[in-house]
Amino acid sequence: MQSSCTAAVRAVSARFLNRQKVTDMSRIDGIDPDQASGRIARVLEAQRANWGAPLANHLVYARRPDLFRAVRGMWSALDHDGILGAALVCLVNRRVAALNGCSF
Instruction: Say if 46 falls within a structural domain.
Output: yes
* Residue pLDDT, tens place only, 3-59: 556 665 555 555 554 444 445 555 788 999 999 999 999 999 999 998 899 988 899
Whether residue 50 lies inside any domain: the answer is yes
**How high is the pLDDT of residue 40?**
96
Q: What is the pTM of this model?
A: 0.62
Cβ–Cβ < 8 Å for 63, 30:
yes
Note the pLDDT of residue 75: 83
Q: How many domains does the chain have?
A: 1
Q: Which domain holds residue 71?
A: 26-99
Determine the Cα–Cα distance for residues 102 and 98; give it in Å rounded to an integer: 6
Within a domain: 13 = no
Q: What angle do CA 13, 102, 65 make, to 5 degrees?
A: 90
